[in-house]
Amino acid sequence: MIFYFTGTGNCLYVARKIQEIEGGKLVNMAHALNEKKFNYKIEKGEKIGIIFPVYFWGLPTIVSEFVNKLNLKTTENPFIYTVITCGGHVGNADKNLGNLLELKNLKLNSSYSVKMPSNYIMIHDITNKENINSVMGMAEKQVKKLIERIKKNKKGYFADHGSIAIVSPIPNRLYGVLRKTKKFYATEECTNCGQCEKICPSQIIHMEDGKPEWKEKKCSHCTACINRCPSQAIEYGNSTKKRGRYVNPYIEFS
Ligand SMILES: Cc1cc2nc3c(=O)[nH]c(=O)nc-3n(C[C@H](O)[C@H](O)[C@H](O)COP(=O)(O)O)c2cc1C
């Protein structure tokens, strides 16, 4: 079984690649959290994959909330691996996940990272096509390599933590402060299509008088609304006005 979370498709791309070889059901952690589906029966010998983007060198809120509530029905200790996608490094994200699983008497057996185009356009713009194609080319190779290791149930934390992962608690805490919704707004380009309301994994966007409203003070900051708006009509303060938008080039969201 492969549990995944994605804002802009990178993790879904990786999850599908692994599923092509390893098989297993794909479970969207955001949907499962919203539908309160936390109980999963795991067959003998079945592996568990947990695939998500790193946020501030730690876990997205949706992932930590889901894993906290997860209940695996197993007859033996399943082999659990994680693949974390990132724009650079993952810091302590795999260790944080390992700690959460330990509270449930589960062991994280291996961790991998895949460097992919960064979708955090509120911070930086690296959405030009050449950059995306070159990063995706390298990502494809990394994914092939890690699938070989997953096939063999290799144990170990192989993710790229970065040289100063020890300071991860600082960005982890910053995430709590920065993931505010106050600066999101829709421009004149908004066509009232309601796509942002449908795709928001935190389900906090509601259409009012033909325009989206962010109804909570904080969200996961996954960037799905701003990057996947078909009219590029969502902005975040002034920072995103002149920036491109990013969706994984191999994923078509319906
Ligand atoms: C809120 C937020 C925080 C992020 N923090 C980091 C980070 O600390 N380190 C990093 O390398 N990439 C970071 N990124 C980039 C994403 O982890 C990366 O683009 C990921 O592949 C996106 O996956 P997705 O397309 O499945 O949502 C961040 C992105 C967002 C939206």
**55 and 116 in one domain?**
yes
Bridge pairing between strands 211-214 and 205-208: antiparallel
When computed from its CA atoms, the radius of gyration of the chain, rounded to whole angstroms, is 18
CATH number at 95 reads 3.40.50
Q: Could you tell me the two tokens for 53?
A: 């983007």
Residue of 89, 119, 184 best suited for mutating to test ligand 1, as the one with most atoms within 8 Å of CB: 119
For 96-230, list the strands marked E by DSSP.
108-115, 156-157, 184-186, 205-208, 211-214
239 CA from centroid of ligand 1 (Å): 17
Residue nearest to atom 16 of ligand 1 (CA): 86
Percent of the chain predicted with pLDDT > 70: 100
Ligand 1 pocket test, candidate residues 118, 142, 168, most atoms within 8 A of CB: 118
Residue 254 has what pLDDT? 75
**Ligand 1 atom closest to Cα of 85?**
21
- Compute, in angstroms, the gap from residue 116 CA to the centroid of ligand 1: 9
**Rounded to 5 degrees, what are φ and ψ at 232?**
50, 45
Rounded to 10°, the helix 10-22/129-151 angle is 30
| Predicted local confidence at residue 58, as pLDDT | 97
Say what the pLDDT of residue 126 is: 80
Q: Is 5 helix (H, G, I), strand (E, B) or coil?
A: coil
Residue 154 and residue 31 share a domain: yes
Domains held by the chain: number: 2
Atom 30 in ligand 1: residue holding the nearest Cα: 120
Residue 127 is part of which domain span?
A: 2-173
Same-domain check for residues 142 and 17: yes
Q: 202 - beta bridge partners?
A: none
- Statement: residue 186 has pLDDT above 80: yes
Residues 39, 61: one domain?
A: yes
Can you tell me the distance from the alpha carbon of 112 to that of 115, in angstroms, rounded to the nearest whole number? 10
- The four Cα atoms 106, 112, 116, 122 give a dihedral, to 10 degrees, of 40
Residues 24 and 103 in one domain: yes
**CA contacts within 13 A on the Cβ side of 120:** 17
Cβ distance 72 to 40 under 8 Å? Answer: yes
Domain C-terminal end among 173, 198, 216: 173
Residue finishing a domain among 173, 200, 218: 173
Residues 189 and 222 in one domain: yes
Average model confidence (pLDDT) across the chain: 96
| Cα 11 to ligand 1 centre (Å) | 10
Residue where a domain terminates, one of 144, 173, 202? 173
Q: How far is the CA of 53 from the centre of ligand 1 (A)?
A: 5
Query: Which residue ranges have their beta carbon within 6 Å of ligand 1?
Result: 6-11, 53-57, 85-89, 116, 118-120, 171, 221-223, 248
Q: Residues 227-251: pLDDT tens digits?
A: 999 999 999 999 999 999 999 999 9
Contact predicate 12/4, CB 8 Å: yes
Return d(Cα 207, Cα 118) in angstroms, integer.
28
Q: Indicate whether 231 belongs to any domain.
A: yes
Which tens digit of pLDDT belongs to each residue from 81-100?
999 999 999 999 999 999 99
- pLDDT per position as a tens digit, 27-50: 999 999 999 999 999 999 999 999
pLDDT value for 127? 78
Ligand 1 atom with the smallest distance to the CA of 56 is: 8
Does one domain contain both 100 and 220? Answer: no
Same domain, 11 and 109: yes
Residues 191 and 163 in one domain: no
The CATH number for 190's domain is 3.30.70.20
Look at residue 253 and tell me whether its pLDDT is greater than 80.
yes
% of the chain beyond a pLDDT of 90: 95
